[in-house]
Structure 1
Amino acid sequence: MRLAEHVPPDKPAVVLHPSGTVVTFADLDARANRIAHLLRGHGVGPGDTVAILIDNNPHVHAVMWAARRSGCYYTLINSGLTAAEVAYIVADCNARALFASASVRQVCAELPDHLPGGLPQLTVIAEAELDGWLRYPDCVAGQPVSPVDCGEEGDLLQYSSGSTGRPKGIRRPRGGRRPATGARGTTPVFELVGVTEDSVYLSPAPLYHTAPAMWTMCAQSVGATTVVMQRFDAEQALECIQRYRVTHAQFVPTMFVKMLRLPENTRRAYDLSSLRRVVHASAPCPPDIKREMIDWWGPIIDEYYSSSEGAGITFIRAEEWLTRPGSVGRPILGTPHILDEFGAELPPGEVGDIYFDGGYPFAYLNDEAKTRAARSPQGWVTVGDVGYLDEDGYLYLTDRRHHMIISGGVNIYPQEIENALLSHPLVVDAAVFGVPDEVMGQSVKAVVQLTDPLLAEGERADAMADELLTWLRARLARYKCPRSISFEDELPRTDAGKLNKQPLIAKYSAALR
């Protein structure tokens, strides 16, 4: 069965930007089937895991579809990891096959040094030479383009970002469906935003993250064209929307900030009228930033809250959000519960740990203890987020539990402070965290990235810090305001937009010793 059978074979399935490379639906279908036969010929079949170490290039979707059609789990690995980090994931998921791109050739060459058990039985690298590895696409030249015979389609086995420790695999039972035309049932949000065959979907983030991988495959399954940015750039995103008449897109809040900080004449130079709905997720969006985006693009910016685990999903349309700013919506998968530290359910308006029941079943691969720890006595599941429900069942995020600062016995949630900092027109990014304090236990520290790095030099840095503190004191209770503000040229965020505070905490805590 062909991918999106009703779609003309020569219609673009993937367009890469800025290279302009096009993969048609016929090409994608044939490539996926050839790779599936390659897997089968090397003994890789249903229930096995295929590791994919590929950047945003013309080959990544073919490998994902091949694994799915073969009944395999497929594990997407960040192409920016070191050989040791890649080896950990390859070994942990017991990959039977590994596909890589030429950009990570050196990492692949170093992998054997970090894999005592040896490389997977099938190793393939695209458009590069490496001893012991098959070269793609040469290695599939003789393979048939007909589908493989597989009784049950595969699924994504994604790894968490690992910002608080080593990444963990998130494994769901395969759904029991036969391989067919799409990744059905993977994201209820997709149908709510109305992506159809005539849509053009923009994916600006790396495809080794959960949402970009799943959403682009969903777009292809309904016959929509997917425009994939090879690397995010704020102005290039606007260029993509105008050039390809993009109708739908998914962003993370840091991308919004970067687009908003473009010069006004640059922002207004592009025709964005083709946009129908845009969604954002991955990290909380400061309300002031979202209002600015709605003022610019109109009330088409929807939001959903979920996780790689799929414990639950909430959704809110832009029109709703304007009446409930800061909410991430009401549930469309699972039922949320707010629990206190003793496991008792809290009433509306009270902050606690967010749990869901009725989401997708999953387990952390090779870690029964972590799987158990994520569940309440009632069997509900948490991924470590903190928030509250209002009287009408709308969910609001406060922060992540491990981000919370306890200063003088008072709980302080950094997200609120970060949101206030990001609303300042000279701030591009902000991180707030606790550092050791002999009297208070912890004190509040802020680190900021400015639109102009020169503002953070010499005496201007002191003046800028004072300006930001004044800005915060006009918006927050005094006890929430940072004791000090420092500046960095760039903050450590993942490509999915999640802030990794650990290097900053280590750096600024060490400075106090």
Structure 2
Amino acid sequence: MPNIYEQDLPQAEANYAALSPLSFIERTAEVYPRRLAVVHGSLRRNWSEVFTRCRQLASALERHGIGKGDTVAVMLPNTPAMVEAHFGIPVTGAVLNALNTRLDPETIAFMLDHGEAKVVLVDPEFAGTMKKALTLRKATTPVLVIDVEDAVFTGKAEHIGSITYEDFLATGDAGYAWKLPDNEWDAIALNYTSGTTGNPKGVVYHHRGAALAAISNILEWDMPKHAVYLWTLPMFHCNGWTFPWTIAARAGVNVCLRKVEAQAIFDAMRDHGVTHYCGAPIVHGLLVNAPDAMKVGLPQGVKAFVAGAAPPASMIEGMEAMGFDLTHVYGLTEVYGPATVCPAQDGWDKLDVGERARLNSRQGVRYHLERDARVLNPETMQPVPMDGETMGEIMFRGNIGMKGYLKNPKATQDAFAGGWFHSGDLAVMYPDGYMKIKDRSKDIIISGGENISSIEVEDVLYRHPAVLAAAVVAKPDARWGETPCAFIELKAGASTTAEDIVAHCKKHMAAFKVPRAVVFGELPKTSTGKIQKFELRKQAGSAAAIDV
């Protein structure tokens, strides 16, 4: 028999609504219509104008036949259209697929087919890549290609679509009725991983997770209303760690940036009073190592998130010298970007920089609205001792987790085995409850915030006619955090050069995956012939770098 709290207390429209980050822009446009929302070059738009454009985009898509469960792909840099895509596409019930602009046409073609994209928005800078990708598609279903022109782009613009973005918006209704999903479990975005063997896996986000991740960003940063956020982090990367929705929730300012360059970043910070930004270690290192003359007049107290590799002491010291506040976060595509954070405790600021670096290098504790994140023994699924020594695997459970992998039930089942999402990252747990990664079970190399599968690079190396055996490990890099280092054993009588190996790799993979160091010699192996990568990791640090 139901308890008294289950009798005559119905869930209804009056007391329940599905969680969705799409509600954030609707409220902000109502409450702060004239507040600045987007800055891009000389362009300025307030929240009322941005919301109107999102409604026009949604209406135009619906009039083109786009609806629930359809995929709309975008290949855009951090521009106003990319902000609008995060609202105008999913409000129709369609799913936003933000494509990594660094990828090659072959990979883009696979994603378009696998995600069954019906519409593609493309920036002129990437028109050549998209043009080739469209010819490489195996699917025969038609795709509407929309050219997104950008006044800030100074290169030669190639139009490959049948209509421009502005003309497409003009076909939409500015009074389009903003509607939220009935089910918060509905898909909102599709993001492809780059850290696995074979074809990338399609990670599907839901409205509930996107909303709670976006709110968690606010909580972790104590982000105030009207924060001024600089887009150094690509919006194609885990939907910009859900920050397009976060900024809308805070009625903040999206300061768009086409290219990540030190001068442009510092200028934007001074000109617009930037308060927050995110990035991989390479971005923060770029700023720390910039000439002092560039740093004159910077706003103080700028808050920065760093993820991808632990911040070294030199970076912490350099950020403090600029008056910036650096916070280390950790996550994966499958958990919407950051899902743990390393918050500073009382007294840490009084420690020397080396000790602060040690403490801040840890992956930390779970995000506010993530149900749980901890280090478990993958065999027993029990927590490891909190001794800072016993190794286990970082696992997550709760709301900030993907629906699963698109069209890949086996991978989804494996990822969620035992009721937890398995990150594949091996770590320890300290007595204070903070986690720290010690190794990566899948040999993933994180370079400039992008995942590179060592096995994928090895597969390409094995295609070289002179290569007998190959192994790829991470080489520490001051700029990128890590880069691939290739160890190669040649066939008897064969000869080649490091430059030839690099040229071979460039033909078969995206540039950021190409090894930046190549070492020739016999590879260390176990008695069963397995290559001993742990021995190679010891050597990688001293391997000579190549200008790729």
Aligned pair 1:288/2:307, yes or no? no
Question: What are the superposed Cα offsets for residues 197-230 of structure 1, whole Å, 9 maximum, x if unpaired?
Answer: 3311112132211252620332023210111221
Which aligned pairs between 1:17-416 and structure 2 lie closer than 5 A? Answer: 19-127=41-149, 133-148=162-177, 150-152=179-181, 155-162=188-195, 164-175=197-208, 183=211, 185-212=213-240, 214-263=242-291, 265-266=292-293, 268-273=295-300, 275=302, 277-281=303-307, 283-298=308-323, 300-310=325-335, 313-319=339-345, 322=356, 324-332=359-367, 333-340=370-377, 342-343=379-380, 345=382, 346-348=384-386, 349=388, 350-358=390-398, 359-376=400-417, 378-403=418-443
The worse-fitting range, judged by mean Cα deviation, of 123-132 and 92-101 is 123-132
SS at match of 1:398: strand
Q: Distance in 2 between matches of 1:341 and 1:225?
A: 43
SS at match of 1:391: coil
SS at match of 2:334: coil
**CA shift for structure 1 position 479:** 9.8
RMSD: 3.4
Aligned sequence identity (%): 21
SS at match of 1:301: strand
- Structure 2 contact 328–363 (Cα < 8 Å) conserved: yes
- Structure 1: gaps of 5 or more residues: 177-181, 406-412, 439-476, 491-513
SS at match of 2:45: strand
**CA shift for structure 1 position 367:** 1.3
SS at match of 2:55: helix
Provide the residue aligned with 1:485 in structure 2: 543
Question: Residue 110 and residue 437 in structure 1: after superposition, are their counterparts in 2 closer, same or farther (change >3 A)?
Answer: closer
- Structure 1 contact 300–317 (Cα < 8 Å) conserved: no
**CA shift for structure 1 position 164:** 4.3
Q: Number of paired residues?
A: 427
Q: Distance in 2 between matches of 1:137 and 1:212?
A: 24
Which of 6, 10, 15 is equivalent to 2:39? 15
- Structure 2 contact 77–234 (Cα < 8 Å) conserved: yes
Question: Residue 50 and residue 430 in structure 1: after superposition, are their counterparts in 2 closer, same or farther (change >3 A)?
Answer: closer
- Structure 2 contact 71–94 (Cα < 8 Å) conserved: yes
Give the partner amino acid of 2:285: V
Question: What are the superposed Cα offsets for residues 410-442 of structure 1, whole Å, 9 maximum, x if unpaired?
Answer: xxx977x83xx74xxxx775547573689xxxx
- Structure 1 contact 258–428 (Cα < 8 Å) conserved: no
Q: Distance in 1 between matches of 2:145 and 2:401?
A: 31
Q: Distance in 1 between matches of 2:130 and 2:239?
A: 26
**CA shift for structure 1 position 174:** 4.2
Question: Residue 301 and residue 429 in structure 1: after superposition, are their counterparts in 2 closer, same or farther (change >3 A)?
Answer: closer
Question: What are the superposed Cα offsets for residues 185-205 of structure 1, whole Å, 9 maximum, x if unpaired?
Answer: 535132221223331111213
SS at match of 1:382: strand
- Structure 1 contact 183–221 (Cα < 8 Å) conserved: no
Provide the residue aligned with 1:496 in structure 2: none
- Structure 2: gaps of 5 or more residues: 1-24, 150-156, 349-355, 446-471, 491-533
- Structure 2 contact 310–328 (Cα < 8 Å) conserved: no
SS at match of 2:61: helix
**CA shift for structure 1 position 38:** 1.0
- Structure 2 contact 319–326 (Cα < 8 Å) conserved: yes
SS at match of 1:65: helix
- Structure 1 contact 278–301 (Cα < 8 Å) conserved: yes
Provide the residue aligned with 1:506 in structure 2: none
SS at match of 2:422: coil
Q: Distance in 1 between matches of 2:143 and 2:473?
A: 46
Q: Distance in 2 between matches of 1:189 and 1:170?
A: 20
Question: What are the superposed Cα offsets for residues 58-89 of structure 1, whole Å, 9 maximum, x if unpaired?
Answer: 32222221112212210101233333322211
Question: Residue 167 and residue 87 in structure 1: after superposition, are their counterparts in 2 closer, same or farther (change >3 A)?
Answer: same
Question: Residue 116 and residue 105 in structure 1: after superposition, are their counterparts in 2 closer, same or farther (change >3 A)?
Answer: same
Q: Distance in 2 between matches of 1:267 and 1:165?
A: 43
- Structure 1 contact 206–230 (Cα < 8 Å) conserved: no
Provide the residue aligned with 2:530 in structure 1: none
Provide the residue aligned with 2:458 in structure 1: none
- Structure 1 contact 51–97 (Cα < 8 Å) conserved: yes
**CA shift for structure 1 position 287:** 2.8
Give the partner amino acid of 2:306: H
- Structure 1 contact 201–247 (Cα < 8 Å) conserved: yes
Question: Residue 38 and residue 262 in structure 1: after superposition, are their counterparts in 2 closer, same or farther (change >3 A)?
Answer: same
TM-score (norm 1): 0.74
Give the partner amino acid of 1:295: E
The worse-fitting range, judged by mean Cα deviation, of 142-151 and 57-66 is 142-151
TM-score (norm 2): 0.69
Q: Distance in 1 between matches of 2:62 and 2:537?
A: 58
Provide the residue aligned with 1:461 in structure 2: none
The worse-fitting range, judged by mean Cα deviation, of 159-168 and 63-72 is 159-168
Q: Distance in 2 between matches of 1:325 and 1:63?
A: 35
